[in-house]
Amino acid sequence: MTSAPTPDMTPAEAESVYFNNYPPPKSLPKHEALARAFVDYHVQANRRLVLVTSGGTTVPLENQTVRFIDNFSAGTRGAVSAEYFLQQGYAVIFLHRQFSLLPYSRHYSHSTNCFLDFMDEEPVPDVEGASESDHRPIVVRSEYQDQMRDVLRKYRYAKRNNLLLLLPFTTISEYLFELRSLAQLMRPLGSNALFYLAAAVSDFFIPSDRMSEHKIQSSELPEHLSQGQATDGSDIYTGGLEAQQPSRSKRLVIDLDPVPKFLHRLVDGWAPDGSMVVSFKLETDPNLLVYKAQTALRRYAHHLVIGNLLTTRKWEVVFVTPDAPHERWIRVPKSRRSKSISGSEAQVGLAEAKRAGDSASGETSGGQQGEKTTSEGVEIESLIIPELVLLHSNMIAKHSPQ
């Protein structure tokens, strides 16, 4: 039996082929139980609930995985967005790549914001007789007190009120299993459910029947040890010794299949009737961004595609919708942009200009109410989320009985 969906299959057939060929993640039953209780709690409260997906998915090269393919996503978009959804009164299921950025703790985690840099030992009191002790309390440095208090209060509020459920995944297959289950469990929410798919999902994977069980070997093994070490046939991993190569090392050739597009199934099967589905489209070529976002919207018939370019994603995004105005840019005003090492400000406006055939309308949007100023500038999610909440409100109004 084939383990990879083929292009001629219907989305439903592709779904059963894919999910029948992978074991569900070990943590799925536990996550389902947590999610069921969480959804139930917020259905009772008639609260809106958003599923935020965040971070990159891995593509393992071996069943007993030593090596895998990954992508750049740190989970910033997802973690920051989750905070603004909570601020807007939503409950949040945060389906994230394990060890990527998390709402609230992202302010003090990873190497760029190491929590140790925010702390100090309490100074020795400036009084006579005071001596250096080995047990001085640890305190937050005075310059960070206000910001940390603010973050801590919001974090505590979310925890105390059971507003944030954190569920981790690592591989593409774990992500897909979790997404399917969560969407189905969210059905009782009806139009109060929102899907915000910011995770950077792999487009390619190795189907299970071509996956090596053990670590792929980089050199030839003697005959009696090579059984079962590599996949059958040389489809993915070819490594024939080439005559001119003096070393005994192999070349690794990886042959990946496309990951079936499950957005169809999410919109048309898994997600609750009346719910809102928002996907992201990431491109690097400004010429392609709007076209690709429009194509995705047409293909999956959902409600909103948020397009972003790798180099400008912290300063501008485009909302592509089925209804007018069809294409709307949201930008952080120039004077309030954080300076990102990885970004390229010169590219802001390019994707819009390429479509319009002239210069972009530029720095018009952004900077309205709801935004938040930090020493690093305005976070674009503070502009995205309120806009999205308005669109969601409109959808809910359309679905509620007159």
Query: What DSSP state is assigned to residue 229?
Result: T
Among 51, 52, 200, 206, binds ligand 9Z3 (CB under 6 A): 200
303 interacts with ligand 9Z3 by CB under 6 A: no
59 interacts with ligand 9Z3 by CB under 6 A: no
Query: Least Å distance between CB 85 and ligand 9Z3?
Result: 15
Q: Which residues contact 313 (CB under 8 A, 6 or more apart)?
A: 77, 282, 343, 380
Instruction: Give the distance between the most distant pair of CA atoms in the chain.
Output: 84
Query: Least Å distance between CB 249 and ligand 9Z3?
Result: 34
Query: Least Å distance between CB 123 and ligand 9Z3?
Result: 38
Residue 219, CA distances (Å) to 68, 231, 245, 248, 253 in order? 19, 15, 12, 6, 14
Query: Least Å distance between CB 198 and ligand 9Z3?
Result: 5
Site for ligand 9Z3, residues 69 to 108, rule: CB under 6 A: 73-77
> Binding residues for ligand 9Z3, how many (CB under 6 A)?
15
Structure tokens at 313: 């994603």
282 interacts with ligand 9Z3 by CB under 6 A: yes
Residue 161, CA distances (Å) to 1, 7, 85, 125, 158 in order? 48, 45, 14, 39, 5
The C-alpha atoms of residue 256 and residue 174 are separated, in whole angstroms, by 18
Among 210, 302, 303, 313, binds ligand 9Z3 (CB under 6 A): 313
Asked if 193 and 276 touch (Cβ cutoff 8 Å), the reply is: yes
Q: How far is CA 143 from the centre of its chain?
A: 32
304 interacts with ligand 9Z3 by CB under 6 A: no
Query: Least Å distance between CB 81 and ligand 9Z3?
Result: 9
Among 59, 167, 197, 289, binds ligand 9Z3 (CB under 6 A): 197
Asked if 164 and 158 touch (Cβ cutoff 8 Å), the reply is: yes
Count of other CB atoms within 10 angstroms of residue 106: 21
286 interacts with ligand 9Z3 by CB under 6 A: no
191 interacts with ligand 9Z3 by CB under 6 A: no
337 interacts with ligand 9Z3 by CB under 6 A: no
280 interacts with ligand 9Z3 by CB under 6 A: yes
Q: Which of 216, 306 has the CB closer to ligand 9Z3?
A: 306
198 interacts with ligand 9Z3 by CB under 6 A: yes
Asked if 399 and 190 touch (Cβ cutoff 8 Å), the reply is: yes
275 interacts with ligand 9Z3 by CB under 6 A: no
Give the dihedral of Cα atoms 211, 216, 222, 226; nearest 10 deg.
-20
Q: Residues interacting with ligand 9Z3, by CB under 6 A?
A: 73-77, 197-198, 200-201, 279-282, 308, 313
